[in-house]
Each structure stands twice: as C-alpha cells, then as structure tokens.
Amino acid sequence: MDRMIIVKAIFDPEARVWYTESSDIHGLRLEDPRLETLVDRIPGAIQDLLELGSDSDGEGAFDIPVEVIANATTRVRRLAAA
C-alpha cells in the first residue's frame, strides 16, 4: 500500500464524541471526545491493523500519509420576523 489513507471523522452531538465513520482501512473504529486526540490515535490504530494482516517482519518499512477529513454539523437559531 503506497497511496494516501483517507479517514472520515464525524462528530456525534448526542454522544458528544468524534468517531471514525469511514476509512480506507477495514476495521478502523475509534472514538474520542476531542478531535485532536482522535487524530493522534489514528496512526497507531492503522499500524496495528496493517500489522495484523501482514506477514512482514518490518524490513523495508515506509511511511504512508493519512488524511483525516472531519465533519461537524451545528445550527443557528434565526428569530422569525415580527
């Protein structure tokens, strides 16, 4: 795998957590109250998942870029004109 890994993170306002909604890596499921902490945890989780499916001994290791796309929805209340 030598391309960029895309991870989509969504905020759940009811649970008040960010979670990985979709990813190029099968099985990546994380959640955290803070987006920054979630993003920090993603590389380690991806590495663990990639190692589970690999017979490699780590020789010839290389970096794979990970792009996290975050989406949060909010509302603004507009008062009706009198």
The answer, as to whether pTM is greater than 0.85, is: no
pLDDT, tens digit only, all 82 positions of the chain: 558 999 999 999 999 999 999 889 999 999 999 999 999 999 999 999 988 766 555 566 778 899 999 998 888 899 888 7
CATH number at residue 25: 3.30.2390.10
- Domain of 17 in residue numbering reads as 5-71
Q: State how beta strands 17-23 and 5-12 pair.
A: antiparallel
pLDDT value of position 74: 82
Residues 72, 77: Cα–Cα separation, whole Å: 17
The alpha carbon dihedral of 44, 46, 48, 50 has a sign of negative
In a domain, 13, yes or no: yes
The number of folded domains in the chain is 1
Whether 80 maps to a domain, the answer reads no
Determine phi and psi for 6, rounding to 5 degrees.
-105, 130
Residue listed under structure tokens 């909604």:
21
Report the greatest alpha carbon distance in the chain: 71
